[in-house]
Amino acid sequence: MSTAVSPARIAMSRASLETRSYFRERDSLIFSFLFPVIMLGIFAVAFGGEDVGESSGPPIDFAQYFLPGMVASGIMLVSFQTLAISLAIEREDGTLKRLRGTPMPPVSYFLGKVGMILVVGLSQIVLLLAVAALAFGVDLPTEPAKWLTFAWCYVLGTAGGAVLGIAYSSVPRSAKSASAVVVGPLLVLQFISGVFFVFSDLPSWLQNVASVFPLKWLAQGMRSVFLPEHFEELEASGSWQHGPTALILSLWLIVGLVICVRTFRWQRRDDG
């Protein structure tokens, strides 16, 4: 049987393969897909009933306050963490080397990963919002403008997280150490980026450190979507800062792309 080979069709086929693999892998399912949902549940149960933001207007429940942080965190887990760990493993166990020995176009491989992250990421957010709304009574925004903000934050955050994850996958020295080397720093970043508690409560020097990295901006962008308008005053800068957010997320996307193009390897460092 002789058929024309199209990179687009191979990319679709890879996306489907990658998505199936992802959902069959129990570790990734719990620690990147369900993690934000579990965290939201714990926060809502632990701090449920406590109010935030009474200084500027009607207060909201803790569960609602944490939802944007969990959305931002979930985006980074699914894009950055999933790709950094899975690529480190695929490089070590020879998956990438085997693929390189076939006529599969490299672009199809990367598009396949992107497709998988879109499917996984969007299903995670749908699940997270559904749990927040149905189980914890969080009010979701109805204004189209807010969902537009959500859309560009999601796209820039996911794309940036994905390329940075691919770039970072060369850092772990082995597949065994990959989880620790990836999860550790990301956990620190989550703590200083205002994902687990109120960002403006952090000392200003720590706020400045966090402001270098994309997660702080992504979380802030998501707060502008899911929190009431009067929460804008509670931001450290007193503004949602959509301009700087778009700029910094785009810069990280470009930096990540450049690092990927320059450093991506199909084989281990000690092989070839």
Residues binding another protein (CB under 8 A): 1-5, 9-10, 13-14, 17, 20-21, 24-25, 90, 93-95, 97-98, 100-105, 267, 272
Judged by CB, which is closer to another protein: 108, or 158? 108
Judged by CB, which is closer to another protein: 17, or 187? 17
Task: Give the whole-angstrom CA distance, residue 94 versus residue 232.
Answer: 49
CB–CB of 68/227 below 8 Å?
yes
CB of 171 to another protein, least distance (A): 20
Query: Which tokens sit at 215?
Result: 């997660």
Query: Which tokens sit at 270?
Result: 């000690």
Beta strand ranges found along the chain (DSSP E): 51-52, 60-61
Judged by CB, which is closer to another protein: 93, or 229? 93
CB of 26 to another protein, least distance (A): 10
Task: Give the whole-angstrom CA distance, residue 53 versus residue 58.
Answer: 7
Judged by CB, which is closer to another protein: 25, or 232? 25
CB of 9 to another protein, least distance (A): 7
Judged by CB, which is closer to another protein: 12, or 255? 12
Which residues, 6 or more positions from 88, have their beta carbon under 8 angstroms from its beta carbon? 169, 170, 171, 172, 174, 175, 178, 181, 182
Judged by CB, which is closer to another protein: 19, or 211? 19
CB–CB of 230/104 below 8 Å?
no
| Beta pairing class for 51-52 and 60-61 | antiparallel
CB of 144 to another protein, least distance (A): 39
The answer to whether the Cα torsion of 144, 146, 152, 157 is positive or negative is negative
CB of 32 to another protein, least distance (A): 15
Q: In Å, what is the CA distance from 126 to each residue of 74, 131, 161?
A: 11, 9, 19
CB of 27 to another protein, least distance (A): 11
